[in-house]
Structure 1
Amino acid sequence: MKPLFQDDSELLTRLKSHDNVAFELIYRRYWQHLFDFAFLKTHDADVSEEIIQDLFVTVWEKRESLQVKNLRAYLFTAVRNRVIDHYKEKIFSELDTIEPPEAPEYSFFLEELEATMQNSIASLPDKTQRIFLLNRFEGKTVRQISADLNLPERTVEYHISQALRVLKVLLKEFIALCLVAFSSSIF
């Protein structure tokens, strides 16, 4: 005996016409395969079943507007996306339950960092300091600074790299102390 519907495209056509039998055949044809696929990804039968049931509810609700050429690919892709959404939800809900550790007063560290940074910048030679501030705090490019100060671009680049080298050395100890303080307060 020949099956009632030969292929998925005929089932989809009948589904769009509100054919309950076509929907039931799609459900019976794909449910177990989709469940197995979801279970393989989630390792949770309840979650897998919920994903598949939700998918079929959506298929039925959107049956008139479905633009599907390959039903099998559509269903498996939909399951994959729902599994991803499940994990996103799970991760974010777990993050919401995590209590932050007792943290030191961060504003104090930020104030100290800003003061250390200002002192370090102030210790730079005047020309280097001016070029560095124009570049990093005013957002000017090497070419703009070169034109504004009537200096070769290579000179501007030299002063910026010198400022960064000096600041790195001056701030290194402060940053190391901050890291020690942060790590000891977290653990």
Structure 2
Amino acid sequence: MKPIELNHTDDVLLLQQIEQGSQHAFNLLYEKHWGNAYSEAYKRLKDSDQAKDIVQEVFTHIWLKKESLRIHNLPAYLTVAIRNKVFKLVEKQKIIHPFFDVIDDLPASCQQADDNLLWKEFLISYEALLNTLPPKRQIIFRLHYQNDLPTKEIAAQLGLTRKTVQNQLLKAIEKLKVSLLPFLSLLIILFGAIK
């Protein structure tokens, strides 16, 4: 269904009517802005169902808070509200997306982007953080994740038990996840790495 053509002045009038409880005004506003709001959510998430859910949540919030919300520019409000909901969703999903699998998938996405400056900054931060790990932990991490060596082989090379190697990897991963995850979440959103 084609959105109803209304201008900014009409948005203000509709919001005033919604504040007074007009379901009809809400439906008109929803009809007009749903498509753009959905596009905004979908381009960040690349998931139709999640995008629809977020748009629904934002419009539900507008209806539920109609008496106290003061919206002066609805398109700008929707953009910010959707972006914030996407950030919260990504933060919740960080446990679902294996940390290093996502990092492995990002370079291909970034090569297609107009500007890979964020990816370069991420790699610089990643390398700098790796260099702050204790020397033995750093070596174990690099052997496992950069050279693809199994923990058993690393243990044999370094004269350590396999359990020690695994513990060192877990500690390294925890430090990297805590320090780099906010930046990684931003990259995921910008480059559409969420499937």
Given the alignment, which residue of 82, 85, 106 partners 2:85? 82
The one-letter code sitting in structure 2 at the alignment partner of 1:79 is I
Alignment correspondent of 1:24: 27
Number of the residue aligned with 1:136:
none
Counterpart for residue 11 of structure 1 = 14
Which residue number in structure 1 is paired with residue 94 of structure 2? 91
What residue is the counterpart of 2:68 in the other structure?
A: 65
- 1:47-66, Cα deviation, whole Å (9 max, x unpaired): 00000111111111000001
Q: Deviations over 1:19-47 (max 9, x none)?
A: 11110011000001110111111100000
Q: Give the match's secondary structure for 1:7.
A: helix
Task: Using the TM superposition, give the Cα deviation of residue 177 of structure 1 relative to its aligned residue in structure 2, in angstroms.
Answer: 4.7
How many matched pairs?
107
The counterpart of 1:41, out of the listed 40, 44, 47, is 44
CA distance in 2, matches of 1:14, 1:30: 16
Deviation at 1:180, TM superposition (A): 4.5
| Counterpart code for 2:72 | K
Counterparts in 2 of 1:19 and 1:91: CA distance versus 1, 3 Å? same
Closer, same or farther: CA 88–11 of 1 in aligned 2, 3 Å? same
Which runs of structure 2 are paired with 1:130-149 in the superposition (5 Å)? none
What residue identity is the alignment partner of 1:66? L
Distance across 2 between alignment mates of 1:22 and 1:80: 25
What TM-score do you get using the length of structure 2 for normalisation?
A: 0.48
Instruction: Report the CA distance between 1:176 and its aligned residue.
Output: 4.0
Give distance in 2, aligned partners of 1:30 and 1:65.
20
Alpha-carbon distance in structure 1 between the residues aligned to 2:45 and 2:137: 41
Normalization by structure 1: what TM-score? 0.50
Report the RMSD for the aligned CA atoms in angstroms.
2.8
AA aligned to 1:45 is S
- Aligned AA for 1:53? Q
Q: Distance in 1 between matches of 2:56 and 2:80?
A: 15
Deviations 1:77-119 (A, max 9, x none): 1111111111111114447xxxxxxxxxxxxxxxxxxxxxxxx
TM-superposed deviation, 1:71: 1.3
CA 1:176 to 1:41, structure 2 compared with 1: closer, same or farther past 3 Å? closer
Question: Which structure has the bigger radius of gyration?
Answer: 1
Q: Structure 1 stretches of 5 or more lacking a match? A: 96-174
- Residue by residue over 1:126-170, the C-alpha shift from the partner in whole angstroms, topping out at 9 and shown as x without a partner, is xxxxxxxxxxxxxxxxxxxxxxxxxxxxxxxxxxxxxxxxxxxxx
**Aligned partner of 2:93: which letter?**
K
2:188 matched residue in structure 1: none
